[in-house]
Chain A
């Protein structure tokens, strides 16, 4: 089907239209469950965009949740919001970077977000290193779920499937393992240099 008007051979885009229809409303109603149930554009939940609805709120401004530590917030907010999440307060070097990013840059600045991404990576390394001092160190095999490649059709889900993402799947192990390999390499070089210096 090319969408070309049969009487002229010229596609509809080059003529006044309308666009040729493939099926009538009756045919669609017979073929598709519920076809046209929301046909009236004015009778849809998202229309109009702004609506005053009963929400269940009995307050104009909610009671404030106690602030148990100085809660970081966007400088685009006038005040701390009355309710907020309390997961994972900022800590360590990543916390210093996060607090600086919130204190210094607004949401429109790329520096704000790039610092937060950098803090995320620092946080991951801090957490990995801390985990080695516990009885449950990080384990990249169990935590990546990569064993499911063996139990859930890892190869057959990809081979011969014309999937566009298979090529860059090879990058995933590099992203996960690369920093570990680089870190171990740097540690090895560092230790070797220290030992050489001591021997001299």
Chain B
């Protein structure tokens, strides 16, 4: 089969690999019909996540058709169209039994601090991902769901991570009616977090980024008030001025490890790997939210320490909430929102890239060329 493989920082190519075998009785092998590149894939691509091995296939956002099932699989059949949450999880460990699917303890031998994620380094379990023609899906009776007939494939693939994560991020903000919410980052997760904040009754939604076409999308798609931080000497001071000098009630970090806005932070983390991530957006969230407010962190950071301003968080009495999204828990409500037209995920898609050209796709997305917001990857056999 054809599959994207990592060749070292900033370098990927498409290679011929074996179709993955059934390794466990509850495995399925899924023929991928559509995958996506996630902003967090860029952390791997840039070599920031420890134990990202040459030869690994990335991709934790994908849908496809069941091609093989293991002997104990009961809920899926060959030929089913399925959407697969980015979490690999068993459904039965202490954490899964309490709904914390993203914190599963039975699928990642490499680390206890994070669950299993498809195509996201050995730190997240060493699973190959879905930017390929076929992918192994463990616990086929637990994670995947048949795509409803009414749902568009491109909505389905975005529900496997970006949409669920943005929605989850707004929930962790504990938004109440009339709240002022500030979202850092106008990528797909930030756009959905902004939209979701409205669903939860926000009275005002502010999005901050530095890329003009993404801010335009935040205004038109997410109905948000936007500010380009590169136009202000100090975006936190500006945020205070426009929010009654209280700050926002809720701040949502949808940027993560490669945040811009402070060259020293960015270079020491995203270029030199001396920090687990550049905490610029997270520090702005801490400083920009009101005392007693809530910071929700959806941006992905690596396991190495980062220079986060915990003193300010403590002195301000903040509530900090974060987790990888337990995707499948969000789906029943998100299916309603998509069906009702409250959320229109596929309007965020800007590029559809053949798998054979995935190296260009990563560069376009990474360098934010050509108005790129969300690129899909289409295998040639799809």
Stretch of B146-154, B185-193, B224-232 on the interface side: B224-232
Whether, in the assembled complex, A71 has its beta carbon less than 8 Å from a beta carbon of chain B, the answer is: yes
**What is the CB-to-nearest-CB distance from B180 to chain A, in angstroms, rounded to a whole number?**
7
Does the CB pair A85–B116 fall under 8 Å? Answer: yes
Known: A143-B12, A154-B369, A157-B369. A14 touches B245 (CB 8 A): yes
A73-119: which residues lie under 8 A (CB-CB) from chain B? 73-74, 76-77, 80-88, 90, 94, 98, 102, 107, 110, 113-114, 116-117, 119
Within 8 A of A (CB), among B193-213: 196, 198-201, 203-204, 210-212
Contact across chains for B90 and A57 when beta carbons are under 8 A apart: yes
B112 at the interface (CB under 8 A from A): yes
A85: chain B residues at CB < 8 Å are: 116, 122, 125-128
Q: Which of B7, B126, B231, B369 contacts A162 (CB 8 A)?
A: B231
Residues of A within 8 A of B88 (CB): 83
Q: Mark B296-340, 1 if CB is under 8 A from A, else 0.
A: 000000111100000000000000000000000110110001001
Residues of B within 8 A of A14 (CB): 245
Chain A residues with CB below 8 A from B342, complex form: 33-34, 37
B287 contacts the other chain (CB 8 A): no
Q: How big is the B interface, by class? A: 35 or more
B8 touches A128 (CB 8 A): yes
Task: Answer yes or no: B172 CB below 8 A from chain A CBs.
Answer: yes
A49, A58, A145, A153: the one contacting B360 at CB < 8 Å is A145
Chain B's closest residue to A125 (CB) is B8
**With A53-B99, A176-B10: A116-B245 Cβ-Cβ less than 8 Å:** no
Contacts A53-B329, A57-B142, A175-B271: A74 and B54 contacting too (C-beta < 8 A)? no
Q: List, in ascending order, chain A residues with CB within 8 A of B168's CB.
A: 45-46
Residue numbers in A under 8 Å from B109 (CB-CB): 71-74, 77, 80-81, 84
Q: How big is chain A's contact interface, by range? A: 35 or more
**CB-defined interface of A46-66 with B at 8 Å, one 1/0 digit per residue?**
110111110111111111011
- Check if B237 is an interface residue, CB within 8 A of chain A: no
CB-defined contacts of A172 to chain B, threshold 8 Å:
10
Distance of A28 Cα from B198 Cα, bound (Å): 8
Q: Is the CB of A148 within 8 A of B9?
A: no
Q: Does A200 contact B (CB under 8 A)?
A: no
* Residues from chain B with Cβ under 8 Å of A169 in the complex: 367
Question: Looking at B10, B74, B125, B168, which has the most chain A CB atoms within 10 Å of its CB?
Answer: B10
Contact A56 B141 (CB under 8 A): yes
B98 contacts A123, C-beta separation under 8 Å: no
Q: Is the CB of A50 within 8 A of B98?
A: yes
Given contacts A1-B242, A145-B359, A154-B369, is CB(A39)–CB(B105) below 8 Å? no
Query: Which among B127, B210, B337 is the interface contact of A87 at CB below 8 angstroms?
Result: B127
> Complex formed: what's the CA distance from A98 to B6 in Å?
18
Stretch at the interface among B28-36, B61-69, B261-269: B261-269
Is A19 engaged at the interface, CB distance under 8 Å to the other chain?
yes
Bound together, the chains give a CA A58 to CA B74 distance in angstroms of: 10
In contact, A45 and B245 (Cβ under 8 angstroms): no
- Choice from B141, B198, B211, B302 contacting A161 with Cβ under 8 Å: B211
CB < 8 Å: which of A2, A12, A56, A81 contacts B107?
A81
Contacts of A50 in B (CB 8 A): 98-100
A152 touches B203 (CB 8 A): no
Min Cβ gap B353→A in Å is 10
Interface residues of B in 256-308 (CB under 8 A from A): 260-261, 263, 266-267, 270-271, 273, 276, 290, 302-305
Q: Are A38 and B246 in contact (CB under 8 A)?
A: no
14 contacts between A and B (CB under 8 A): A3-B241, A13-B244, A36-B200, A38-B200, A62-B26, A73-B110, A77-B112, A83-B88, A83-B106, A107-B112, A121-B47, A123-B54, A138-B11, A142-B13
Sorted nearest first, the 4 A-B pairs with minimum C-beta distance are A34-B342, A85-B126, A57-B91, A145-B363
In addition to A83-B24, A144-B363, 5 A-B residue pairs with Cβ atoms within 8 Å of each other are A76-B112, A81-B108, A113-B304, A142-B359, A157-B371
